[in-house]
Amino acid sequence: MPLVTRYNLLATDYWLLVTKMLVLTRKANQTINIGDNISIKIVEIGNGYVKVGIEAPRDLPIYREELYEKLKQLNVESAKLDMDKLKDFLGMK
Closest CA to 30 of 38, 21, 39: 39
| Per-residue confidence (pLDDT) for residue 46, from 0 to 100 | 94
> What strand order describes the sheet that includes 38-46?
31-34, 38-46, 49-55
Positions in the chain whose pLDDT score sits under 50: 1-5, 17
Entry pTM: 0.61
Judgement on whether residues 50 and 67 belong to the same structural domain of the protein:
no
50 and 6, same structural domain?
yes
Number of domains in the chain: 2
Distance in angstroms (rounded) separating the CA atoms of residues 35 and 32 = 10
Domain extent, residue 30, equals: 1-58
Note whether 53 and 68 are same-domain residues.
no
- By the 8 A CB rule, do 33 and 39 touch? yes
Indicate the average pLDDT of the chain. Answer: 81
Task: State whether 76 and 36 are in the same domain.
Answer: no
Q: Are 31 and 37 in contact (CB under 8 A)?
A: no
pLDDT, position 19: 58
pLDDT at position 4, please?
Answer: 44
